[in-house]
Amino acid sequence: MIQRIQTIWLLLATIVLILMLFLPIATNLGVQESTVYIKGIQQSYSGDGLLVKTNIPILSTAILITLICFINIFNFKRRSLQKKIIIFTIVAIIGFAVWCSIYLKQLPGGIEGASFGVGAYLPAVAILFLVLAIFGINNDERLIRSAERLR
64-98 pLDDT, tens digit each: 999 999 999 998 888 889 999 999 999 999 999 99
Identity of the highest mean pLDDT range in 47-61, 101-115, 116-130, 135-149: 116-130
Q: Residue 5: what pLDDT?
A: 86
Burial 121-131 (b: 16+ CB within 10 A, else e): ebbebbbebbe
Model-level pTM?
0.85
Q: Residue 48: what pLDDT?
A: 60
Contacts of 117 (CB under 8 A, 6+ apart): 23, 24, 25, 26, 27, 35
> Rounded mean pLDDT of 34-47?
73
Contacts of 111 (CB under 8 A, 6+ apart): 26, 28, 104, 105
Q: Work out the pLDDT band at 46, boundaries 50, 70, 90.
A: low
Q: Residue 2: what pLDDT?
A: 45
Length of the chain: 151
